[in-house]
Each structure stands twice: as C-alpha cells, then as structure tokens.
Structure 1
C-alpha cells in the first residue's frame, strides 16, 4: 500500500510566535503614535495659527477686530480650525459685505473682506449699502462728515431697494440744479415725499414721480424768480404744480 499524504497541521515553531508578537507590538506602537499625533494636532500650543493675513479695501474695519474675533471664536490649532465656521463668523460682522477664508500652510490664515459701502441712512437707525441691503452698523465720530453727506431715507420694511433706486434716479435729475435730497419718505402706499437741502419739500405722489420731478426741475427757474421763499411744492397734478410759500415767521 502506498503512503498517503499526512493531514496533520504544520508545526508552528518559535519563529511564528515571535513574528506574531512583533506584529502586535508594531500595531500597538502605530495606534499609540496616531493618538499622540492627533493630540498634538489638537493642541494649539503645538500647532497654533501663528499669522492671520487680512486683505481687501478697508475703511471701517480694523484688522485687529477681525483677528481678535477669529482667535476668540476659533481657539484650536491650525489643523483643527474650521474654515467654513470662520468664514461665517467674519461675514457676520456688521461692516463686512462678503468674505473669503483659506488656510496658508504651515500655520497661517488668509482672510479677504469686501466692506459695506454706506449709501444712505435707513429709518434713522440702520444703513443701506450700495445695493440697497440694510445692515446694522454704527458710524463713529471719525465718520461724522460722511454721515452728514448721506441721505436719510424712510420707508416700510422690504422697500429698501426700491427706496434707494428711487433716490438715485431722482437725485440724478436734481444734479443739474445743484440741489440735493437730504430726506426722502416712502409711505406705506408708496407715495414719495422729498426734502431738499434748501429746505423745500416736494410731494410727488405715487405715480409718475420721475416725470413730476422733471416738471419741478423745468419750472424751478420760473418759480425762483418770485421774491418769496418756497416752503413746499405739490406736484400731484396731471399738469402744473402748487407752491406753498414760507411766511415771514418761517422765513426768519
């Protein structure tokens, strides 16, 4: 009878167990090193955000304000810093219109800001930017001159863009006269009332207000020939206008 192959399991010698022990030790060391590396990356003292680079045309925002805000709200390390959260925090600043944020290897942060450009004071306590968006920011004492040059616009909520566009269109007509709108009121029914820098008040009504203002511009030289001071001009007529003259008390 021929010999059959042996079915016994191969004998595991000392080398197998040494290799197994070595493999386990290597895996433990790798896990330990990974945990230490993760802890190191989370430790701000080991990998801090060393520099914050801020760019963009800035007039109302101080770089230190942005840096203080980022370091206060994102106190972790460079690796743990949340770029998207930082972007939202910076864009939430009153004077920031848009912002972009990205990391700069190995330990920096780049922030580019587009500042709000105030175009008008809205309802006495807010500002409108150049796009007609309202934002809640304060003009400090250094900006009082700019504040005095901004028109005061008043209107119902949601009419910001309509009000600003109407102001721009009407001011462009008045530029030839040298007059400026200092206050503009847009009623709930969208009737337009203006006050000019010479104290004259204009009532333009709800419809065809641009044509009515053009009528005022055309007739202003004739009205100005009167030896009286204008108090108001009512232009809510198909043709012509009504002029209210200042009394001696008002003129004084």
Structure 2
C-alpha cells in the first residue's frame, strides 16, 4: 500500500449558515485514482474547495504529505468545474496552459521559450496543439476542458484534484481525459475526481469516496461500490435497474 499523502480529519463546512459538509474523515494513499461520488448537493465540489483552502472550513484539519496546504500547494494541481471559469477572458489556449507554470516562473516574471514549449507539449498531449493560438472563447466545451487539463498537466504536480472534468464533454474527449488520468496514476501520481456517471465508476476508478454531506464510505471500488452503499448514498433518489449495474438517479439541487 502506498504512503498516506492526504489526511482529512473532522472536516465540516457551510454555505450561508447551512452545513454542507459534516465531520468528514478519510485518508488518500499515493498512486490512487479516486472518484468522489454522490447526489447533487452532496458537497462534492465543496469538499474539494475546502481541502484546497478555497472555501473556509468550520472545523477540522487537512494535511498534504504531512504538511499544511500552504507548504504543499506547489505539489498540487486543480481543475475546477468548467462552468466556474470566465471563458470570455481575452486569451488564447497556449497562454491559459502557460499560466499553470506561474508557480515555478513567478507571477512577476515573463515566461520564456522553454516555458512556452512545455505548455505547447501539454496541449499536444491533449490533442489541442492545433488550437494553441485560438481564443478560448472560440473553443467548444470539450476543447476548453482539454485546455484546462493541459494547464494542470504542465504543473507536473504530485496530486491532482478535478471537479467534474467529464461533465458535458463528447465521447472522444472523455476517453482522452480518462487515458491521461490513468497515465498519471501509472506514473505514481495521485488523482481525485468529482464524478457523476455511476455507469462508468467501476471502469474509471480504483477507489471511490461516497459522499452525501458526510462520508458514507471510502475504499477500493470493488469493495465499496455496491448496491447497498450506493442506495445509502443516494437514498430515495436512486433506483436500481438490475444486476447489470444500470442506475436511474433522480436527484435535485
């Protein structure tokens, strides 16, 4: 088993006095690819944001590589939900990816040719090299998601967090993203992904974290992703469609 590189203890968070995370505890080991699964409003995105110090915690502690987030943040990459990004910002795909290097370049310094080459290679890996000079507002949703993933890749982080990277993308983009995530895992990186499609969980993730405002269970997919645990996570919003693992999820915000 790999070393523990993320430890979350008694983590709680709220929005407008409403608790959205309650006493969450788990550990993540190096080299795992974990899907964060739960109904709408379960606190999945809030969990990522609170772990990454983007949303205040009410209680609890988070440690990366046995350090506070501020000391470990250069080793961490984050891909937010596509809907939270201002895609009308006037910049091209290459510049967006180059921004992923600013932690190494320094915000007051200009990227050099080597930095631009690294950014271009990350775009190439995502099949987006031909769009390097295209304004991001002119890209399709799937293309924008590939660019954002390239920005995370160019950081060469040890731990990646991704908030619904497969939402609203075409089948080819979904395959490309999952191939990259599995390659990251094969190279010893650690990845946590907020994911909504129950049909693909077993194919995509070796670990799952089932969340509905609190942690229901966490562990290896073949052990945790069961009919009983899924029903417990989704409650009355989930209907089991048979032993071939088809699900109908009816959840509301």
TM exceeds 0.5?
A: no
Kindly name which structure, 1 or 2, has the bigger radius of gyration based on alpha carbons: 1
More contact order relative to length (CA 8 Å, sep ≥ 6): 2
